[in-house]
Amino acid sequence: MRASWDVDRGSEPCHIVVVCRRSPGATRRHSPLRASVCFTGQPEVIVSLACVALYAVLVGVASFIEVPVGRGFGAFQLNVLIRVGGLVAAAAVLVAVHGLAFPGGSSALAGLGVGVLTGVGSIFYCFSLKYMPVSLVVTFSNLYLVITIVLGVIVLGEPITALKVAGLTGTLAGVLMLARAPVRYGVHSKASSAEQPLRLRAFVTMAAYVVIVGVGAFLEKPALKGLDATELNGLMAIAMTAVAVVALAVHGPRIRITERSLQGVGVGALIGVASVLYFLGLRGLPVSVAAAFANSSMVVTVMLSVVVLHQPLTRVRGAAMLVTLLGVTLLALSVG
Q: Is the pLDDT of residue 6 over 90?
A: no
* Average pLDDT rounded to a whole number, residues 146-160: 90
* Average pLDDT rounded to a whole number, residues 261-279: 94
* pLDDT-derived band at 298, boundaries 50, 70, 90: confident
* Average pLDDT rounded to a whole number, residues 100-115: 90
**Same domain, yes or no, for 13 and 155?**
no
User: Over the stretch 24-72, which tens digit does the pLDDT of each residue have?
Assistant: 444 433 333 344 444 445 788 889 999 999 999 999 999 889 888 888 8
Instruction: Indicate the pTM of the whole model.
Output: 0.80
- Closest-CA residue to 220 (of 130, 282, 272): 282
**Same domain, yes or no, for 1 and 49?**
no
Task: Say how many domains are in the chain.
Answer: 2
Q: Is the pLDDT of residue 314 over 70?
A: yes
User: Over the stretch 217-248, which tens digit does the pLDDT of each residue have?
Assistant: 999 999 999 999 999 999 999 999 999 999 99
**Same domain, yes or no, for 133 and 223?**
yes
**Same domain, yes or no, for 30 and 49?**
no
Domain interval for residue 35: 1-40
* Average pLDDT rounded to a whole number, residues 162-174: 89
**Same domain, yes or no, for 112 and 227?**
yes
Can you give the pLDDT at residue 39? Answer: 41
**Same domain, yes or no, for 26 and 132?**
no
Q: What are phi and psi of 312, to 5 degrees?
A: -65, 135
Q: How far is CA 273 from CA 20, 86, 94, 136, 270, in A?
A: 23, 7, 11, 28, 5
Chain centroid to Cα 280, Å, comes to 12
**Same domain, yes or no, for 75 and 143?**
yes
User: Over the stretch 193-215, which tens digit does the pLDDT of each residue have?
Assistant: 445 566 788 889 999 999 999 99
**Dist. CA 90–CA 273, nearest whole Å:** 7
Phi-psi region of 254 (alpha: psi -120 to 50; beta: other; left: phi over 0): beta
